[in-house]
């Protein structure tokens, strides 16, 4: 899906999107899930694969990613403070990538829709929704249209570019 899509839109309310994660942050996510699901502790291999996938962000071409995250992503303590600071530094850098449009929905902003859960839209054809136990794939036109309306509403509430960088930097400074 990802390789064939030309525009990928995603919303994350809890954690940094995988394509923007540092190795240390990704390792923390993988260790958490391995513990939760009592699955193999293949953290190094999983992190290496995640980082390999990130090369797509630097490939010239037609693929664009519009990522919107809640400010909670910047503030949840899902890793030690030094890891969070490095991760937020990575997000600052991501706001300058030509293949990525990164928006941050600030706390305190009146939202037009509820950010109920994370989701990803591929070329307005397919939506994936990750829940605790599975990934749902939704392809009915009315489902995709609904998620596109939700994404667009959240995206209009987000801060971008310099304003997003200021918010990210302020959050990073809170991880002293």
* Average pLDDT per consecutive 10 residues, the chain (176 residues; last block may be shorter): 90 96 93 72 87 89 91 95 97 96 96 93 96 91 97 98 98 93
CB-side exposure of 168: number of CA atoms within 13 Å? 26
Q: How far apart are CA 171 and CA 164, in angstroms?
A: 11
Q: Give the pLDDT of residue 94.
A: 96
Q: Give the pLDDT of residue 14.
A: 93
- Short-list 160, 13, 117, 27, CA closest to 75: 13
The reported pTM is 0.93
With beta carbons less than 8 A apart as the criterion, state whether 138 and 148 touch. no
User: CATH: 3.60.20.10, 3.30.870.10, 3.40.50.880, 3.40.50.12160. Which one for 7-17+63-174?
Assistant: 3.30.870.10
Q: Give the pLDDT of residue 34.
A: 67
Q: How far apart are CA 174 and CA 165, in angstroms?
A: 14
Q: Give the pLDDT of residue 133.
A: 83
**Which residue ranges make up each domain of the chain?**
7-17+63-174
User: Residue 109 has which token pair?
Assistant: 């902003």
């Amino acid at each position: 899906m990802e390789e064939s899509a030309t525009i990928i839109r995603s919303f994350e309310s809890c954690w940094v999107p995988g394509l923007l994660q540092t190795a240390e942050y990704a390792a923390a996510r993988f260790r958490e899930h391995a513990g939760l699901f009592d699955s193999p502790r293949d953290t190094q291999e999983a992190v290496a694969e995640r980082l390999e996938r990130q090369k797509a962000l630097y490939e010239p071409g037609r693929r664009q990613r519009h990522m919107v995250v809640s400010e909670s992503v910047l503030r949840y303590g899902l890793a030690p403070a030094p890891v969070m600071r490095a991760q937020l530094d990575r997000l600052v850098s991501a706001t300058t990538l030509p293949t990525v449009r990164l928006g941050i929905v600030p706390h305190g902003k009146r939202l037009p829709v509820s950010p109920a859960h994370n989701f990803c839209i591929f070329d307005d054809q397919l939506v994936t929704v990750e829940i605790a136990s599975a990934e749902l794939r939704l392809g009915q036109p009315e489902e995709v249209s609904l998620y596109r309306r939700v994404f667009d509403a959240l995206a209009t509430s987000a801060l971008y570019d310099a304003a997003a960088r200021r918010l990210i930097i302020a959050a990073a400074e809170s991880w002293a």
